Amino acid sequence: MKENIIKAIKLTFILVVIFSGVYTMVIWAIAQAAPGRGEGRKVLINGKLAGYAGVGQTFTADHYFQGRPSAVDYNAAGSAGSNSGPSNPDYLRLVESRIDTFLVHNPGVERSSVPVELVTASGSGLDPDISPAAAMVQVARVARQRNMPIGKLEALVSEQTRGPLLGIFGPATINVLALNLALDQLNPVDSTK
């Protein structure tokens, strides 16, 4: 029995060294070779941090396209969903409230046309992407706020749409940060208003 305990202690020590030391160093080394050196892909505009390409963020002004709600306020340190299901009455009230708010800011959109992703949080709470349909339903509001032709905005949404991976895996998506940055380049907002 003493032999087994000594073997177990040795094995535990070896596994601790491998998984706490060696594995951690290998992952760190791989991250150093990645874009952003493991710090994420920073998006800089005129030397100022505008956001991170792979993490959603809040856009509340009507002159911007809005992304998916977040259960963790886009805090990457606390990535999580709400864990509330479709039978939870509090969650249903929250979704109804989000739909009502969306309809107030987007007059002319019918309740049945509100994309589900604009009123429900993603599983990670960090989703930076929306579908082309979720962007298109916001075009009229953004065009009105920026005094732009709707066709010009629809073309911008089409330009920013990324197809499925390898043409078959997953849906077409639009990164909301990239879309809004392109929008600001196309039609800058007067910050004095």
User: What's the whole-model pTM score?
Assistant: 0.75
Cross-strand bridge partners of residue 139:
none
Domain count, the chain: 2
- Answer yes or no: do 11 and 49 share one domain: no
Domain match, 79 and 95 both:
yes
Q: Specify the higher pLDDT residue, 132 or 193.
A: 132
Give the residue among 177, 190, 192 at the shortest CA–CA distance from 64. 177
Instruction: Give the model's pLDDT for residue 136.
Output: 95
Helix (H, G, I), strand (E, B) or coil at 119: coil
Task: Examine residue 193 and state whether it is found in any structural domain, yes or no.
Answer: no
Shared domain check, 50 and 34: no
| Within a domain: 19 | yes
Instruction: Indicate if 94 and 178 belong to the same structural domain.
Output: yes
Q: Mind listing the pLDDT tens digit for each residue in 21-48?
A: 889 888 888 878 876 676 667 777 777 8
User: What's the pLDDT tens digit per position in 143-183?
Assistant: 999 999 999 999 999 999 998 888 889 899 999 999 999 99
Domain enclosing residue 17, as ranges: 1-39
Of all residues in the chain, what percent carry a pLDDT higher than 70? 95
Using an 8 Å Cβ cutoff, are 161 and 172 in contact? yes
For residues 53 and 145, membership in a common domain is answered with yes
Answer yes or no: do 180 and 151 share one domain. yes
Do 86 and 178 sit in the same domain of this protein?
Answer: yes
Dihedral sign, Cα of residue 98, residue 104, residue 105, residue 108: positive
pLDDT at 130: 92
**pLDDT tens digits, one per residue of 57-107:** 888 889 999 999 888 877 777 777 777 778 889 989 999 999 999 999 999
Residue 160 near residue 174, CB atoms below 8 Å: yes
* Pair (146, 78) in one structural domain: yes
Query: Pairing mode, if any, of strands 174-175 and 48-52?
Result: unpaired
Q: Cβ distance 38 to 76 under 8 Å?
A: no
